[in-house]
Each structure stands twice: as structure tokens, then as C-alpha cells.
Amino acid sequence: MEEKEAVEKFKKKVTGLMLFPVVMFTLALIGQFELLALTVLLFLISLKLQREIVSFIKSDAWYRNVLLYMSSLLSLLMVVRIVFVQQSSPLVYVVVFLFMAALTLGIYLLFASKKGKASITRFSQHSGN
């Protein structure tokens, strides 16, 4: 039971790391600079508190690349939605669908694919859980 709990905590923390840049880009684009500053501060505190996960992600090239690419893709889709697609446009639905599809792909690659599961197992063994 402890291993399952450790894996669930790992998944939640990694998902948060993947979505923080999306939130930061969104806040910057809509002009919510106070919330952006708070989010950046929370992100930095989160990185400090999650040193073990961050060092593991740095050491695992595949996991690091997937996390960076998925976070960048999600951020890009959010930027396209805010900057180029008007609120009343039917393209909003297309961008939202692409965002959800990219998010699903990212979660699959990070947690359900063979390489993702192997990375989680390595982290679990590395951290002693």
C-alpha cells in the first residue's frame, strides 16, 4: 500500500510541475500580474520542496524531455487560444479539444506508457519507497 501511495504522490507532483507553466503564461497574457507573481513564487517554493523529484527528473532524460515538451505544447495552445482566438469564435472548441487531447497524451506518456511506468518504478526504488 505504501508504494501505491508514493506513486500517487509522485503523479500529483509531476502533474503540478507540468501545469505550472501553463498557468503562468495564462496569467501573464491576461494581465493578472499580481497572481502571476504569486504563482511564480509558489512554483519556486514547490521546486524547493520537491527537490527529490526535480533531481530525478533532471537525471531521467526521457522523462525530462516529455515533461518539457508537453508543458511547452500546453502553454503554446493556451497562448494561441488567448492571443489569436476570439471568445465568440467557433475555433475556441477546437483549441480546447486540442488542449485536452495534449493533456491526455502527456498524462499517458508520463504515467501509463511503458517508459513512464519504468521511470516511476526507478523513482520509487531511488527514493526508497
32 three-class SS: coil
> What sections of 31-60 are H helices per DSSP?
33-49, 51-59
Binned at pLDDT 50, 70 and 90, residue 102 comes out as very high
- Nearest-CA neighbor of 60 among 3, 129, 109? 109
The yes-or-no verdict on residue 1 having pLDDT over 70 is no
Tens digits of residue pLDDT in 16-62: 888 888 888 888 888 888 988 998 898 889 888 888 888 988 999 99
Instruction: Indicate whether this model's pTM tops 0.85.
Output: no
**How far is residue 94's CA from residue 100's CA, in Å, rounded to a whole number?**
10
Average pLDDT, the chain: 88
Average of pLDDT values for 116-122? 88
Average of pLDDT values for 68-87? 92
Question: Hey, what's the cell of 61?
Answer: 532524460
Q: Count Cβ atoms within 10 A of the Cβ of residue 112 and give its class: 0-12 exposed, 13-18 middle, 19 or more buried.
A: exposed
Cβ neighbors of 40 (< 8 A, separation 6 or more) are: 24
- Nearest-CA neighbor of 67 among 22, 127, 124, 125? 22
